Amino acid sequence: MAMGITSKNHDKASRGIPRLGYDMVARPDFRTEASADLPETRTLARGRKRIGLAIALFSVGFAVIGGKLLMLGAGSLTAPTQVASAPRPMVTEGRVTRPNVVDRNGEVMAIDIMTASLYADIKDIQNREEAVQALRRVLPHLNEKTLRRRLSKAGGNVRLMRELTPRQEYAVHNLGLPGINFEKEFKRVYPNGTMAGHVLGYVNANNEGVAGIEYHIDHGDLLAQEQVAVSVDMRVQHVLRDELAQAMSTFSAKAAVGVVMDVTTGEVIGMSSLPDFDPNDPMASEDNARFSRATLGVYEMGSTFKAFSVAASLDSGLVQLGDRFDARKPLKVAGGFSIRDFHAQKRELSVSEVFMHSSNIGTAKMVMELGRDRHRSFLSSLGLLERPDIELPERGKPLLPARWTDLSTMTISYGHGISVTPLQMTAAGAAIVNGGFKVSPTFVRQDGDLKERKRVMSAQTSKSMRKLMRLVVAEGTGRRADVAGYPVIGKTGTAEKAVGGGYSRKALLTSFLSAFPADNPRYAMLVMLDEPQGTKATYNFATAGWNAAPLTGRIVRRIAPMLGLKPEGNWQSPLQSVSYTQR
């Protein structure tokens, strides 16, 4: 019945279809009435061809994607977006690397470590608020407003935080925030902390040296070096700082300074200025702590200066060791000013006695024998009158009298009316005891041959000075500095600090300029206490003999063995020495 209709309608369209009207019979679930005349047969036939087209299109589509997949997998694809799709480096080198700083024995004092900085690539940030909240979750100290403002910038790479710990980096990485990247940067680390802060200095946020040896590395063209060896011996440095800190605490001093120097090379073996700071975080300390008293501060050193005056007098040949000076009465000078003695002996004193008893009157009279200019040029030859040429940028310029009068010469002879840095003092002291050669202080380890040295006084003068300085320790004001086995030579100094236009009797600056071993000194040392107070043990005396001198002794006792010095016959073990000094 259906067959006839099918063939009648569209012969062309129905080609290939069996001419059987089976569908009406065979479909119990489908309407049969429409099949009475099948107007859709032509559509069906056309549809078949068009499905063929669809099959072809889909085949091409699947084939193209399959091909692209294979190429991607084989890694041989040069994608049209090659430039943009190249994997962005997650790690880039940021700040420049700096050489390690090591002490004279090769111990590390400063080193670079890798840290990560957090950056946001603004155009890759998908959801600013989500990023802000997620970052705050793992880095709670970040300021929410600042973070939001930084992420709101129009584009570019914005730094969000520096120096993430590995743990923080891991946490941020795991947030999986698009556009949040890390950059590897170098961070300067000082493993010894505060130990040698004023020698090392510190770096700024860009890892550039701005103080101390770090400054010198940048400005002395040492950045390319693998490491920079400083002259400091960390063992000595440790002892020096430890003893200074103890003394500062014991005597309730405002500050304490110590410098240990090789008398031949001028190398600074140890230098400490308390209070000090941690170069790992210099800005956490006050300006007062970052101030390097040893190299930048200038002080009226007081009687320690007499060593230079006596040396000048002896070296001029105009004064002999046997000459005597009348110290019975205060020395009246122009303008109603008079010079008095602290340990007044009220008699005529020999040069040795002037030095040993630290007579201001005697010293002033002595320098007037050789005169203003010779005294001045002698001080100048020791390097006391100008800014020292050292590696550190913290270099103090001495304060000299505006007009160098005879009165100036007299006060300067016992260390008043001139302010110099402790470092200069140490170097000048080294020259006095080393046989008479000028000493230029340095903070860099001196390798190789000794430089040609400039003689500033005769060897005989230097020898005489060593004897005089030994006398001070053996019998004079510096007795408490002596160490059994390691004889010390030195000169005490107790300066009254200039307060409000005059000098204060209460505010003292005590110092002790020393060298050891006595007969052939290898090391010079200066210790200084700012406004030390008397204690019960010192019978309330606060002069140098009671604080700076014993401090020197304690330091020498500990560092002399480290420095390879042979003890002499009367050597005692430190334990015995302690019981001896505490007696």
Partner 1 sequence: MSLFGKFDLGRTNRSVLSAWWWTVDRWTLAAVLGLAMLGVVLSLAASPAVASKIGLSSFHFVYRQAIFLAPALVVLLGVSMLSVRQVRRLAILGFAGVYVLMVATLVVGPEIKGATRWLSMAGFSLQPSEFIKPLLVILLAWMFSEAAKKTGVPGRSIALGLYGLVAVVLVQQPDFGQLTLITIVFAAIFFLAGLSWFWIAGMAGLVIAGGYSAYRMVPHVASRVDRFLDPASGDTYQIERALEAFRAGGLFGRGPGEGVVKRVLPDAHTDFIFAVAAEEYGVIAGLLILGLFGFIVIRTLLRVQEEHDLFVQLAASGLIVLIGVQSLINIAVNVNLLPAKGMTLPFISYGGSSLIAVALALGMLLALTRRRAGGTLHHGTYTKRAYA
Per-residue interface string for the shown chain with partner 1, residues 367-406, x marking contact by CB under 8 A: ----------------------------------------
Per-residue interface string for the shown chain with partner 1, residues 88-107, x marking contact by CB under 8 A: x-------------------
Q: Is 39 in the site for partner 1 (CB under 8 A)?
A: yes
Binding-site residue total for partner 1 (CB under 8 A)? 58
Q: Is 226 in the site for partner 1 (CB under 8 A)?
A: no
Candidate residues 4, 8, 30, 455; the one interacting with partner 1 per rule CB under 8 A:
30
Candidate residues 12, 78, 85, 141; the one interacting with partner 1 per rule CB under 8 A:
85
Q: Which are the contacts of 272, defined by CB distance < 8 A and separation ≥ 6?
A: 196, 198, 237, 240, 241, 244, 256, 257, 258, 294
CA-based nearest residue to 292, from 390, 220, 204: 390
CA 7 from chain center: how many Å? 103
Q: Which residue has the tokens 């005396």?
A: 541
**Tokens for 351?**
């040069």
Q: Is 61 in the site for partner 1 (CB under 8 A)?
A: yes
Question: Among 17-25, 98-106, 261-269, 332-340, which window interacts with partner 1 (CB under 8 A)?
Answer: 17-25
CA-based nearest residue to 203, from 192, 194, 191, 216: 216
Q: Which are the contacts of 501, defined by CB distance < 8 A and separation ≥ 6?
A: none
Q: Classify residue 20 by burial, with Cβ atoms within 10 Å: 0-12, 13-18, 19+.
A: exposed
Q: Is 152 in the site for partner 1 (CB under 8 A)?
A: no
Per-residue interface string for the shown chain with partner 1, residues 156-175, x marking contact by CB under 8 A: ------------------xx
Shorter beta-carbon distance to partner 1: residue 21 or 99: 21
CA-based nearest residue to 104, from 329, 269, 253, 216: 269
Out of 231, 303, 313, 408, pick the active-site residue: 303
- Kindly provide the b/e burial profile for residues 370-401, where b requires at least 16 CB atoms within 10 angstroms of the residue's own CB: bebebbbebbebbbbbeebebbbbbbbebebe
CA distances in angstroms from 116 to 92, 181, 254, 531, listed in the order given: 10, 9, 40, 46
Ramachandran class of 272: left when φ > 0, alpha when ψ lies in -120 to 50, beta otherwise = beta
Q: Is 140 in the site for partner 1 (CB under 8 A)?
A: no
Question: Among 36-44, 240-248, 411-419, 529-537, which window interacts with partner 1 (CB under 8 A)?
Answer: 36-44
Per-residue interface string for the shown chain with partner 1, residues 449-468, x marking contact by CB under 8 A: --------------------
Q: Could you tell me whether strands 100-102 and 227-229 are parallel, antiparallel, or unpaired per DSSP bridges?
A: parallel
Candidate residues 106, 156, 178, 317; the one interacting with partner 1 per rule CB under 8 A:
178
Phi and psi at 290, nearest 5°, equal: -80, -10
Candidate residues 8, 70, 340, 475; the one interacting with partner 1 per rule CB under 8 A:
70
Candidate residues 4, 8, 58, 163; the one interacting with partner 1 per rule CB under 8 A:
58
CA distances in angstroms from 176 to 179, 181, 443, listed in the order given: 9, 10, 49
CA distances in angstroms from 139 to 23, 147, 258, 341, listed in the order given: 73, 11, 43, 66
Q: Which residue has the tokens 């550190």?
A: 392
Q: Could you tell me whether strands 348-350 and 100-102 are parallel, antiparallel, or unpaired per DSSP bridges?
A: unpaired
Q: Is 72 in the site for partner 1 (CB under 8 A)?
A: yes
CB of 90 to partner 1, least distance (A): 10
Candidate residues 8, 27, 219, 329; the one interacting with partner 1 per rule CB under 8 A:
27
Q: Give the three-state DSSP class for 570.
A: coil
Q: Is 69 in the site for partner 1 (CB under 8 A)?
A: yes
464 is catalytic: no
Contact call for residues 543 and 510 (beta carbons, < 8 A):
yes
Candidate residues 52, 106, 156, 191; the one interacting with partner 1 per rule CB under 8 A:
52
Per-residue interface string for the shown chain with partner 1, residues 110-139, x marking contact by CB under 8 A: -------------xx-x-------------
CB of 527 to partner 1, least distance (A): 60
Shorter beta-carbon distance to partner 1: residue 50 or 454: 50
Candidate residues 11, 12, 84, 403; the one interacting with partner 1 per rule CB under 8 A:
84
CB of 144 to partner 1, least distance (A): 18
Cα 36 from Cα 17, distance rounded (Å): 17
Candidate residues 7, 8, 25, 113; the one interacting with partner 1 per rule CB under 8 A:
25
SS3 sequence of 298-340: CECCHHHHHHHHHHHHHHHCCCCCCCEEECCCCEEEHHHEEEC
Active site residues: 303
Applying CB under 8 A, which residues contact partner 1? 16-18, 20, 22-23, 25-30, 34, 38-40, 42-44, 46-48, 50-52, 54-55, 58-59, 61-62, 64-66, 68-70, 72-75, 79-81, 83-85, 87-88, 123-124, 126, 174-179
